[in-house]
Amino acid sequence: RSDVNEFLGFLREFADKCHHGKEEGLLFPALIDAGLPSQEGPIAVMLAEHAQGREWIGAMQAAAEPEWNAADFATAATGYIRLLQAHIGKENDILFPMAEQLLDRAQLDALAAAFEKHEATVIGQGRHEQLHAMLKKLKAKHLGEQ
């Protein structure tokens, strides 16, 4: 159970607070300023998927405590995995190329600097590496990956 809680903490801190935080607080406003609508299209889809991801993480947490419910956890984890795989595909194939078309080099460079500042401020200096080390440890323990 402690490993599950550690992993769910990773999802909340790294995937949601850090990665989605960069998108919601920095990238999306820049794209909206560049003319992309916020209530429809890619931004609305991404925001809805961020919310759905938070719901799946909450469902995994509910299945882990106070009593472990493996079936409910597996359902929520599978839903989250499917959502995240599709979400990452949309980022890579649609959202990020769109940002590169709509924003000029100076804006992209400013975003990159703001992303670094966000990460240092929101999760702390060096925390990114700590989280990846924690994932590596969990993968080795549970998946036999080095």
How is 70-100 classified by DSSP, letter by letter?
A: HHHHHHHHHHHHHHHHHHHHHIIIIIHHHHH
pLDDT along the chain (146 residues), means of 10: 90 90 96 94 96 96 93 97 96 95 96 92 87 90 83
What does the DSSP 8-state code read for residue 68? -
In this predicted structure, what is the pLDDT of residue 124? 86
CA dist., res. 95 & res. 7, Å (int)? 27
pTM over 0.85: yes
